[in-house]
Chains A and B, each alone.
Chain A
């Protein structure tokens, strides 16, 4: 007997809405979980996923993907990648795994919420596969770094980071809790899959895959390419929701959720991916600057996607574009200066050749950023390393939970008083996110709030590191052991 083509039965097979008899519709799909905004179910049934896949197809393809990634890993286990890689590249791996691996599990939970509570059957079907994607991503991105733990315990942070109060982990958790763990099926679809995944995971996974291949780390290149093939499928869950929301008078709500998630994602990627692409990846292996990558893969594509679906560009678009010139340079300088507080060893990436590249890619870099690095370099050349460490905390934004920083002529506090408490934000964008739903965010304390409340004892660097869970052997230091400073020492000698 001939089998029907998938196209002949798919639509019928995923028509899984029914009329409940023993419970009310609102009990089966509580509005706070479905996020249906009162739109009739018949409207949600118009949802048409652009990427159709059945469970048997999914299992077959995923099995092949896993077999590919794991076999490359097995084949290259004796390749001495760890021993031979530039220390800056190892920092890329550590930062990536710590920030991403456990968040994948949160994403699985978010996908599960869509799989159960979405009113659109097609969304539930895609999210079921998306949920399994994210479980795979969590597992594979914990398994791969695990073998490196005996060689370097900073790799233990692939698992550990999200259980700590390390500042970067607080920032990542705050954002992912916001868009993954505390939103409805519609909210997750718009914020996680459309804004975050369509907008940004391309960057972390495609951009890094290119850099990994250049750096000769085929295991990692293969791993994250494998992850990205899933992302590019389930990232399409959110898009088809937008026309339904727009057609039913909920454009403003959709726009707001997308705008909040995009802004928040930008901030997190500016601290995670910006330094990785423009400073940690060895110069010879860089494919594009962070800004070039953002403009090509994020700005152009995401802007078009928003307009095509009937949304507008976010109100902050011009400010966002302006931030592409500076924000990640400040994040990088801050991470390097406060380097004992991270679980990887930041590569300074400011040797003479790197600075030439930075000035080419970001005209004016030396004026805005090089001047500050010059003071640091002078101290290192003069043997005053103690002056290259902080003696206080940066003030932390109450939304992105990252240090309030950018180019010296632009950095500013954006304060807001809410119910008698002052909140401090790094930007109009972060302040605006807070104002959309103040009660959602008002109770949270930044690391500085906790410090001032006496929750971090003793109130010094040692107490801070203990609070953040950073043990000896895990505390970050310059990736190259300050070897890059020698070029400047030689310069001083030759000038003398």
Chain B
């Protein structure tokens, strides 16, 4: 359990932001932490959507329950947080 800085690139937001998380955070918790700094501030909420996390440029998201410590993410690596449509 340790503080771990990431770079958040949030869908619909214009700026990359410093995202302090914990190595024990799941990807869902990472997404929620990222949303705190974007959704309802510059990005409109999208009810019923699930927020997913992927490495910048990757096609597939990281598993929702995967912990930061297991993800292989580097400190300050840029993650993309995006809305997954509910139908999927």
Residues of A within 8 A of B (CB): 330, 333-334, 337, 369, 371-372, 374-376, 379, 387-388, 390-395, 403-408, 411-413, 415, 422, 424, 448, 451-452
- Tell yes or no: B18 within 8 A of A by CB: yes
Partner among B12, B17, B41, B78 whose Cβ is within 8 Å of the Cβ of A376: B41
Query: Is the Cβ of B11 less than 8 Å from the Cβ of A413?
Result: no
Q: Which residues of B contact A369 (CB under 8 A)?
A: 14
Query: Is the Cβ of A404 less than 8 Å from the Cβ of B5?
Result: no
Q: Which residue of A lies closest to B5 (CB)?
A: A452
With contacts A395-B76, A405-B14, A405-B16 taken as known, whether A412 is within 8 angstroms of B56 at the C-beta atoms is yes
Q: What are the 7 tightest A-B residue pairs by CB atom distance, in nearest-first order?
A: A413-B78, A405-B15, A395-B16, A372-B42, A404-B16, A393-B18, A330-B14
Between-chain CB contacts (< 8 Å), 25 pairs: A330-B14, A333-B42, A334-B14, A369-B14, A374-B44, A375-B40, A375-B44, A379-B40, A387-B40, A390-B41, A392-B18, A392-B37, A393-B17, A394-B15, A395-B15, A395-B76, A403-B16, A404-B15, A406-B14, A411-B14, A412-B56, A413-B9, A413-B16, A413-B56, A422-B77
Query: Is the Cβ of B42 less than 8 Å from the Cβ of A392?
Result: no
Pick from B15, B37, B56 the residue with the most CB of A within 10 Å: B15
- Tell yes or no: B36 within 8 A of A by CB: yes
Q: Which residue of A lies closest to B44 (CB)?
A: A375
Query: Is the Cβ of A395 less than 8 Å from the Cβ of B7?
Result: yes
Partner among A379, A387, A403 whose Cβ is within 8 Å of the Cβ of B15: A403
B contact residues, range: 20 to 34
Q: Which residue of B lies closest to A405 (CB)?
A: B15
Partner among A379, A387, A422 whose Cβ is within 8 Å of the Cβ of B76: A422
Query: Is the Cβ of B5 less than 8 Å from the Cβ of A408?
Result: no
Partner among B9, B13, B40, B43 whose Cβ is within 8 Å of the Cβ of A412: B9
Contact with A along B4-37 (1 / 0, CB 8 A): 0101010111111111100000000000000011
Tell me the complex Cα distance, A374–B17, Å.
20
- Tell yes or no: B71 within 8 A of A by CB: no
Query: Is the Cβ of A375 less than 8 Å from the Cβ of B42?
Result: yes
Q: Which residue of B lies closest to A369 (CB)?
A: B14
Query: Is the Cβ of B13 less than 8 Å from the Cβ of A448?
Result: no
Query: Is the Cβ of A387 less than 8 Å from the Cβ of B41?
Result: yes
Q: Which residue of A lies closest to B6 (CB)?
A: A395
With contacts A376-B41, A413-B78 taken as known, whether A408 is within 8 angstroms of B20 at the C-beta atoms is no
Residues of B within 8 A of A (CB): 5, 7, 9, 11-20, 36-37, 40-44, 56, 74-78
Query: Is the Cβ of B41 less than 8 Å from the Cβ of A448?
Result: no
Excluding A371-B12, A422-B75, 16 further A-B contacts by CB distance (< 8 Å) are A334-B15, A337-B42, A369-B14, A372-B13, A372-B43, A375-B40, A388-B41, A390-B41, A393-B17, A403-B15, A404-B16, A408-B11, A408-B12, A408-B13, A413-B9, A424-B76
Please count the residue pairs between chain A and chain B whose beta carbons lie under 8 angstroms apart in the complex: 91
Shortest Cβ distance from A405 into chain B, in angstroms?
A: 4
Query: Is the Cβ of A407 less than 8 Å from the Cβ of B14?
Result: yes
Q: Which residues of A contact B13 (CB under 8 A)?
A: 372, 408, 411
Tell me the complex Cα distance, A405–B74, Å.
21
Tell me the complex Cα distance, A36–B40, Å.
56
Q: Which residues of A contact B56 (CB under 8 A)?
A: 412-413
Pick from A372, A379, A415, A422 the residue with the most CB of B within 10 Å: A372
Partner among B15, B36, B75, B77 whose Cβ is within 8 Å of the Cβ of A411: B15
Tell me the complex Cα distance, A356–B11, Å.
25
With contacts A408-B13, A422-B74 taken as known, whether A394 is within 8 angstroms of B41 at the C-beta atoms is no
Q: Which residues of A contact B41 (CB under 8 A)?
A: 337, 375-376, 379, 387-388, 390
Query: Is the Cβ of A372 less than 8 Å from the Cβ of B14?
Result: yes
Shortest Cβ distance from B9 into chain A, in angstroms?
A: 6
Q: Which residues of B contact A391 (CB under 8 A)?
A: 36-37
Shortest Cβ distance from A44 into chain B, in angstroms?
A: 45
Q: Which residues of B contact A393 (CB under 8 A)?
A: 17-18
Q: Which residue of B lies closest to A397 (CB)?
A: B16
Q: Which residue of A lies closest to B40 (CB)?
A: A387
With contacts A337-B42, A395-B7 taken as known, whether A411 is within 8 angstroms of B37 at the C-beta atoms is no
Q: Which residues of B contact A388 (CB under 8 A)?
A: 41
Shortest Cβ distance from B57 into chain A, in angstroms?
A: 8
Q: Which residue of B lies closest to A384 (CB)?
A: B40
Query: Is the Cβ of A395 less than 8 Å from the Cβ of B42?
Result: no
Q: Which residues of A contact B78 (CB under 8 A)?
A: 412-413, 415, 424
Q: Which residues of B contact A405 (CB under 8 A)?
A: 14-16
Q: Which residues of A contact B42 (CB under 8 A)?
A: 333, 337, 372, 375-376
Tell me the complex Cα distance, A422–B6, Å.
12
Tell me the complex Cα distance, A451–B41, Å.
23
Shortest Cβ distance from B58 into chain A, in angstroms?
A: 13
Tell me the complex Cα distance, A337–B38, Å.
12
Shortest Cβ distance from A424 into chain B, in angstroms?
A: 7
Partner among B12, B15, B43 whose Cβ is within 8 Å of the Cβ of A330: B15
With contacts A371-B44, A395-B76, A413-B7 taken as known, whether A390 is within 8 angstroms of B14 at the C-beta atoms is no
Q: Which residue of B lies closest to A423 (CB)?
A: B76
With contacts A376-B41, A387-B40 taken as known, whether A392 is within 8 angstroms of B19 at the C-beta atoms is yes
Tell me the complex Cα distance, A375–B77, Å.
27
Query: Is the Cβ of A448 less than 8 Å from the Cβ of B43?
Result: no
Q: Which residues of A contact B15 (CB under 8 A)?
A: 330, 333-334, 394-395, 403-405, 411
